Structure 1
Amino acid sequence: MTSTLANLQAALMAGDVTAEALAEAALSKALAPDGEGARVFTRIYAERAREMARASDTLRKAGIVRSPLEGVPISIKDLFDVAGETTWAGSVALDDAPPAAASSPVVERLVAAGAVLVGRTNMTEFAFSGLGLNPHYGTPLNPFDRGTGRIPGGSSSGAAISVTDGMAAAAIGTDTGGSVRIPAALCGLTGFKPTARRVPRDGALPLSMSLDSVGPLAASVICCALVDSILAGEVPRVPEAASLQGLRLAVPTTLALDGLDDHVAAAFQAALSALSAAGALVEEIAVPEFMELAQINAKGGLAASEAWHWHRALIGRAGPRYDPRVLVRIRRGADISAADYLDIVAARAAWMAAVERRIAGFDALLMPTVPVIAPAIASLADEGAYGAANLLILRNPTLINFLDGCALSVPCHPAGTAPVGLMVAGAGGQDRRILSIGRAIEAALADR
């Protein structure tokens, strides 16, 4: 069971453990030769983490606790600049790139909050896939059914496994089409994708400037809310849990429930039943706009066009070093004209307005985060199977990114079974409300 931030802070405050001991425990797991650490991290900050932990212990002895992250091991995705280091983004194409002159605001806020940075986590190369496979640094294995060898989900693959395997208490990922929520759902964690503008993305290597967002993966909604507030530059706080009594929760029947495997369908329906029993008003609704998204993005959409804008020069000199499965998706952007791009931007604005009108009377949307349990890595060797699985797994989370909304993925599967995520989503700017509702849903599901 992954420790919550509250439990770790209580142990630190009581003197039952030190930040240095927490760092050593995390590093021990990260460096264990028989563990996942070699595939989880692209860079481990062993000595730096020890020094940060000792500094935190010294401050705590002086009565200084900077935040709920004080002395807690945290991992960061290999997209965020750290001063003096090259940001690799899960690739080898940037090996000769200059080191960052300054750390990203996300990294600076974590350090100022007293977090102990354990290392930079592996990811799908350049964040362009929801599966989490990486041919350069290896693919960390999902904690469920490691004998089979299942995907962790992506693109924040190492982020998820750093938390499930005790190498970090929380991880910072990015989410362009589900890259926080997908690995959280497939690995049994809670993940939060905020409204894109909520957390600064400066100093983070972009995939899509229109869709990228920065969020945490952790053990609980409260953990995610605390980390989110720190990343957003706010005083760390947790919204009160909403009352489920009379809460209007919409389940979109359009697209979002298509192709569910039996285990996901059963877990999702059981979760809805539990919420109804707790007093929530769960209502199925049609959202025909969801069916329009594939056509809007038929040429590759915002992600391909904006990724091509950033990558075109790098591909020109280092294209053969890219993961071919990533390269082919970025190259789609080369065929999107300026007029095509402006058509997508305009279509998105109209689509967002229509969806927001349709869901305006509800407190949140509910849907399975991912329609299937984590597939076996071996089943994705064929490009066709890889592409089909990627589209299916990205489908539901992508709806919320295109909406510029916010969303949680909360575990909803029976203990001991394959992880399933319940997505709780809302329109842009409703972050604290969604976290409040997420707390209530999490409690109701735990009561089962």
Structure 2
Amino acid sequence: MTSDPAELTAAELSRQISSGELSSAEAVDAFLSRIASLDGRLHAFVDVYGDEARKVAASADRAIRQGRAIGPWHGVPIALKDLIEIEGRITTGGSAEWRNRRSDRTATIARRLLNRGMIFLGKTQTVEFAMGGWGTNQHMGTPWNPWDQATARTPGGSSSGSGVAVAARMSPWAIGTDTGGSVRLPAAFCGITGLKVTSGRISSYGVMPLSPTLDTVGPMARTAEDTALLYSLLEGIDPLDRATWGTPRSDVLAGLKGGVEGLRLARIHRDEREGVDEEVLAAYDASLECLAKLGADIIGLPLPFRFNACFSPQDAITKAEAYALFGHLANDPTTALGDLVRERILSGRNLSAQDYLVAMCQREKLGQEMQAAMIDVDALLTPTTETPARTLHDLDESYAASRFTKFVNTFDMCALAVPNGYTRHGLPTSLQIVCKSFAEDLALRIGHAFQLVTGWHHKAPMVDTVRARST
């Protein structure tokens, strides 16, 4: 048993706060103290709601003592990516141009968490407009990956601050968004668990968009169990988001402990192993062996295309939609946009309507081929990233971090990233569990079974001695 509430998972916090063993005030103080101690170096938060969080925690404790608890999550803290609108609060979208932009509405997901009595610790850093997978931000600052005390490394993006905050125990869990890997990449580089959901599962109303066709909101936590719990709080039909209308509900908690015996899990083709770091591959192969020992059938899956074949339609859709949303800022040379992000947005300027529609058709065609290939497969297992977190000083951002993540968005599938090892230098590696659309319950079930017999998700970075930031 730990005496530090910041070391507890969200599920453990809920149980202890509900039972009175731990007060919400004690939990919130523990996380705020950790933020105060570490975030000057880690830079995971763009804004911290300290005074308000403490007041809400005190109110939650009174309600719980008086038998007026809203539910099991009353008094449990959480962090939100700085794309999620809260009326009256600053939402920058990671852009220095919008440092003073106040939200005029509250996102549905934020309202759902508030209605459960949860407490917002603050907003976490993001790549500008969520347009980047490495986690860098030229003007607002790049979060420090806590797994390397000496060298600045990629935290993963675009949900960089959420990944760092959860890994460094500055929040028990957090909300991210994922357009091409933006939940799973920081989960992988920071050694935590992250879920990319099917479009329509979780409302995007009040969440600043990048590509409305591809954007999804996703939970980030230390464990598959916490991820499943947070997902269950967020999902559901929203009258304000048409994409959720008619989406079937799923009870991910009911089958979470179902195990993997008898499941058909596909491994990547040998050609997809080319260019992947040796230690990443070793952890991947060990994960396959682990799941096989649990009773899963590990099989080959011949695909009619390589994963990078999905880049062209995905990029065209993202660039066209991003330019429609932010082109007016990128076209103005006086705006305080990062150089790389401005370039990425402007790359959509010359895409025609025909280019866009062709990309949408390519997406549909490839998606049908993928669906046919996986018809008898429960999940496809891949590394989440090609390498562990890379050093920032020699990072080539023209090379995408999303080789194994982007196709999931292209085909509107779901996927869970879970830690599956550490390199000889102590950097996390990650396994991606890819399932068909609306099969989040299965992805979480596989991830939970894996974590029941492995301990990678319990390991924490030694962040107390992280050196002062040099980037």
Question: If the TM-score is normalised by the length of the shorter chain, which range does it land in?
Answer: over 0.9
Query: Does the Cα contact within 8 Å between 2:311 and 2:406 map onto a contact in 1?
Result: no
What is the letter of the counterpart of residue 426 of structure 1? C
1:441 matched to which residue of 2? 450
What is the letter of the counterpart of residue 203 of structure 1? G
Number of equivalenced pairs = 438
Find out whether 1:261 has 2:264 as its counterpart: no
CA distance in 2, matches of 1:48, 1:321: 30
Deviation of 1:237 after TM superposition, in Å, equals 6.1
What is the letter of the counterpart of residue 43 of structure 1? D
Query: Does the Cα contact within 8 Å between 2:420 and 2:456 map onto a contact in 1?
Result: no
1:5 matched to which residue of 2? 10
What is the letter of the counterpart of residue 227 of structure 1? L
Identity %: 32
Deviation of 1:22 after TM superposition, in Å, equals 1.1
Evaluate the alpha carbon distance shift between residue 47 and residue 285 of structure 1 in structure 2; reply closer, same or farther with a 3 A threshold: same
1:398 matched to which residue of 2? 406
- Select the residue among 288, 301, 304 that pairs with 1:272: 288
Evaluate the alpha carbon distance shift between residue 183 and residue 319 of structure 1 in structure 2; reply closer, same or farther with a 3 A threshold: farther
Evaluate the alpha carbon distance shift between residue 418 and residue 308 of structure 1 in structure 2; reply closer, same or farther with a 3 A threshold: same
Evaluate the alpha carbon distance shift between residue 318 and residue 231 of structure 1 in structure 2; reply closer, same or farther with a 3 A threshold: farther
- Select the residue among 22, 25, 33 that pairs with 1:28: 33
CA distance in 2, matches of 1:310, 1:397: 24
Q: What TM-score do the two structures reach when normalised by structure 2?
A: 0.88
Matches within 5 A, 1:27-46: 27-32=32-37, 35-36=39-40, 39-46=43-50
Deviation of 1:217 after TM superposition, in Å, equals 0.8
CA distance in 2, matches of 1:317, 1:62: 56
CA distance in 2, matches of 1:326, 1:278: 44
CA distance in 1, matches of 2:322, 2:104: 23
Query: Does the Cα contact within 8 Å between 1:191 and 1:409 map onto a contact in 2?
Result: yes
CA distance in 1, matches of 2:178, 2:128: 14
Evaluate the alpha carbon distance shift between residue 25 and residue 96 of structure 1 in structure 2; reply closer, same or farther with a 3 A threshold: closer
What is the letter of the counterpart of residue 95 of structure 1? R
2:465 matched to which residue of 1? none
Deviation of 1:256 after TM superposition, in Å, equals 4.1
Find out whether 1:188 has 2:191 as its counterpart: yes
2:83 matched to which residue of 1? 79
2:463 matched to which residue of 1? none
Evaluate the alpha carbon distance shift between residue 218 and residue 195 of structure 1 in structure 2; reply closer, same or farther with a 3 A threshold: same
Find out whether 1:70 has 2:74 as its counterpart: yes
CA distance in 2, matches of 1:341, 1:161: 35
2:437 matched to which residue of 1? 428
1:358 matched to which residue of 2? 373
CA distance in 1, matches of 2:122, 2:347: 33
CA distance in 1, matches of 2:144, 2:271: 29
What is the letter of the counterpart of residue 151 of structure 1? T
What is the letter of the counterpart of residue 406 of structure 2? T
Query: Does the Cα contact within 8 Å between 1:90 and 1:134 map onto a contact in 2?
Result: yes
Matches within 5 A, 1:152-163: 152-163=155-166
1:66-98: CA deviation from partner (whole Å, max 9, x where unpaired):
34432122000000111012320111112354x
CA distance in 2, matches of 1:442, 1:319: 49
CA distance in 1, matches of 2:140, 2:87: 22
Task: Give the aligned CA root-mean-square deviation in angstroms.
Answer: 2.2
CA distance in 2, matches of 1:15, 1:262: 48
Evaluate the alpha carbon distance shift between residue 255 and residue 404 of structure 1 in structure 2; reply closer, same or farther with a 3 A threshold: farther
Matches within 5 A, 1:90-239: 90-95=94-99, 97=101, 99-233=102-236, 238-239=253-254
Deviation of 1:355 after TM superposition, in Å, equals 0.2
What is the letter of the counterpart of residue 246 of structure 1? G
Query: Does the Cα contact within 8 Å between 1:70 and 1:113 map onto a contact in 2?
Result: yes
What is the letter of the counterpart of residue 398 of structure 1? K
1:393-419: CA deviation from partner (whole Å, max 9, x where unpaired):
211110101110111001110598321
Query: Does the Cα contact within 8 Å between 1:73 and 1:168 map onto a contact in 2?
Result: yes
CA distance in 2, matches of 1:128, 1:447: 29
Evaluate the alpha carbon distance shift between residue 237 and residue 434 of structure 1 in structure 2; reply closer, same or farther with a 3 A threshold: closer
Query: Does the Cα contact within 8 Å between 1:49 and 1:118 map onto a contact in 2?
Result: yes
1:242-291: CA deviation from partner (whole Å, max 9, x where unpaired):
33222100113176433111110111111111111222111122212335
Between 368-377 and 137-146, report the one with greater CA deviation: 137-146
Deviation of 1:293 after TM superposition, in Å, equals 2.4
CA distance in 2, matches of 1:91, 1:67: 36
Query: Does the Cα contact within 8 Å between 1:194 and 1:405 map onto a contact in 2?
Result: yes
1:53 matched to which residue of 2? 57
Evaluate the alpha carbon distance shift between residue 398 and residue 82 of structure 1 in structure 2; reply closer, same or farther with a 3 A threshold: same
Query: Does the Cα contact within 8 Å between 1:252 and 1:284 map onto a contact in 2?
Result: yes
Unaligned stretches of 5+ residues in structure 1: none
2:243 matched to which residue of 1? none
- Select the residue among 19, 22, 28 that pairs with 1:17: 22
Deviation of 1:441 after TM superposition, in Å, equals 2.4
Between 13-22 and 124-133, report the one with greater CA deviation: 13-22
SS in 2 for 1:409: strand
CA distance in 1, matches of 2:100, 2:25: 34
**Per residue, is there more helix in 1 or in 2?**
1
Find out whether 1:386 has 2:397 as its counterpart: yes
Q: What TM-score do the two structures reach when normalised by structure 1?
A: 0.92
Between 419-428 and 53-62, report the one with greater CA deviation: 53-62
Deviation of 1:319 after TM superposition, in Å, equals 5.7
CA distance in 2, matches of 1:349, 1:80: 29
Unaligned stretches of 5+ residues in structure 2: 1-5, 237-248, 458-471
